[in-house]
Amino acid sequence: MDKERRIRLSKLMSYVLRHNPWKFGIKPDEYGFVSIKDLIRAISRIYSWVTEENIKEVIAEDEKGRFEIRGSKIRARYGHSYEVKINHEEDRSSKILYHGTAVRNLKRILQEGIKPMGRQFVHLSIDKENAIETAKRHDKNIVIFEIDAECLRKKGYKIYAAGKFVRVVKYVPPDCIVKREMII
């Protein structure tokens, strides 16, 4: 499968598994898992060429670990806008995490903290480069926040390893933001 098809398939898989499986006639379990066969059947209405091998190729090429297969089921590991139970390992070792967003959100974040904004969790990156990449999907004028992970833990917020580069937490209070960098 060529890169363009892989990207299109990955985006559709993300939409279906993270946001609206019901629109495609799929009912996820409490952990967000759906049958791979059901996912293929649903996606093939849009991309008639999709196969299980294509799905597995998307997962193999995905550096961020967005998806997970267990047996005959698949799910998005993070980014859900509907309620799912997560069973990710708690990250107890990260010291600094990063969050990137559009500059237009700066004032609100400094006052209110970082909220999930329609998702189940706030997404954080283990490195600045991934935070920049994520933020640039939303705007070209971005700000990168450096987050004190120990501050989050001291306030009772658990940090979970949701992917290779991704950590998730319910909320980031303003006082756990230790630095910001504008990239314009």
The string of DSSP codes covering 31-62 is: TS-EEHHHHHHHHTTT-TT--HHHHHHHHHH-
Residue 138's pLDDT is 84
Q: What is the pTM of this model?
A: 0.83
Residue 49's pLDDT is 96
Strand pairing partners for 147?
97, 177
| Euclidean distance between CA atoms 80 and 104, whole angstroms | 24
Residue 108's pLDDT is 96
> Vertex 183, ends 180 and 184: CA angle to 5°?
140
Residue 69's pLDDT is 94
Residue 149's pLDDT is 98
Residues of the chain with pLDDT under 50: none
For the chain, which domains are there?
A: 3-76 (1.10.10.970), 96-183 (3.20.170.30)
